[in-house]
Structure 1
Amino acid sequence: MDATLPLAPPPGFRKAIPDKVKLQVVIRQDSKCSSCGQRLGKLVDTEFDHIPAVQLRCWDPEAKDTVPPSNDVEHIFAKHVDCHAAKTFGSKASKRGADVTEIARTKRIAKDTEEFRRRMLAKVDPDVEMPREKRPKRAWPKRSFPKRGKHEGTRSRDQEGGAAADG
């Protein structure tokens, strides 16, 4: 069974949104921001958000586009610049759920899954060459601890009490 995971778009993939699509999106939204509901101002103050984010979509190598297509009118929303930034980068209090955080999380999980898959395949097929894993750094210092005798350097409770009573 050779199940392949859906790939993310290649690095740097980003199709420009045509003006026709932008106009269709603004008309669909009745010239209101999809986040806050306020009227959209000038085109300079308006940004277009892909939902789901382009980097979170699966890549179709035959069409050389994402699934759903990156410039699909139904998956693009017009927003104010600050509303779009809040969704893309998250709030100051929490980054969870922000596009940038989810993209990084998805890439990390995909990498871990692929490493796990390779290890499992190597167990089944010993001919598969596994990349050598780096050993983690030692948690303990390399130098040895000072050696002491069995009773050297320790004081009994009687000795501590006697010294305190004399002082």
Structure 2
Amino acid sequence: MFAELPLAPPTGFRKAIPDLVKLKVVLRQDSLCATCRERLGKLEDTQFDHVPALQLRCWDPEAKNTIPPANDVDSIFAKHVDCHAAKTFGSKASKRGADVTEIARTKRIAKDTEAFRQRMLAKGDPEAEPRPERPKKQWPKRPFQKRGKDEGRRSRGQESSGTAEE
């Protein structure tokens, strides 16, 4: 069947980017920000962005690394602090497409997909525990007002008085 790879690296996985990799990235970009194409400043004012984000990559348990590798020079980009924050957290107007939003969305979809998969496997397995039957929902019962034969003929706006016509 299909080879199953865990969707994301384990909790706490994050390799520090070596200085040699950072230098190669900056030289590859000609010391320009990958987003705004302006000159990068000091190394302290520069952040390195993984594309795609590490939590959106598949995990290879044999290599104990992501696919592509976490510190691959070709999947890291040097950016200004504010340019990196815009990609990671999104703008105030829209969070869609931001790394944090996409990571949460991917985790939610993976959880829902796994729950669906488990339900489908349980349906086909005759030895699985039978699920308890849910009681059928019924419409609420509200009795109609009881009226006499003559009371049913009057129009809505008329109120009945206890006596016959006066």
| TM-score, length-scaled by structure 1 | 0.78
Residue in structure 2 matched with residue 138 of structure 1 by the alignment: none
Give the direction of change, closer, same or farther, for the CA distance of 1:2–1:82 in structure 2 (3 Å limit). closer
Distance 2:5 2:60 in 1: 12
1:142-161 residue CA offsets vs partner (Å, 9 max, x unmatched): xx99988447xxxx64248x
Distance 1:35 1:49 in 2: 11
Residue in structure 1 matched with residue 29 of structure 2 by the alignment: 29
**Where does 1:16-165 land on structure 2 (aligned, <5 Å)?**
16-128=16-128, 149-150=145-146, 157-159=156-158
- Give 1:5 shift: 5.0
1:37-80 residue CA offsets vs partner (Å, 9 max, x unmatched): 00000111100000000000000000000000000000000000
Gaps of 5+ in 1: 136-143, 161-167
1:23-42 residue CA offsets vs partner (Å, 9 max, x unmatched): 00000000000000000001
Residue in structure 1 matched with residue 151 of structure 2 by the alignment: none
Distance 1:40 1:2 in 2: 44
- Give 1:6 shift: 3.9
Residue in structure 2 matched with residue 141 of structure 1 by the alignment: none
Distance 1:15 1:84 in 2: 18
Give the direction of change, closer, same or farther, for the CA distance of 1:128–1:73 in structure 2 (3 Å limit). farther
| TM-score, length-scaled by structure 2 | 0.78
Give the direction of change, closer, same or farther, for the CA distance of 1:129–1:100 in structure 2 (3 Å limit). farther
Distance 2:30 2:22 in 1: 12
Distance 1:93 1:44 in 2: 28
Counterpart code for 1:15: K
- Give the number of equivalent residue pairs: 147
Counterpart code for 1:158: G
Gaps of 5+ in 2: 135-139, 148-154, 160-166
Larger radius of gyration: 2
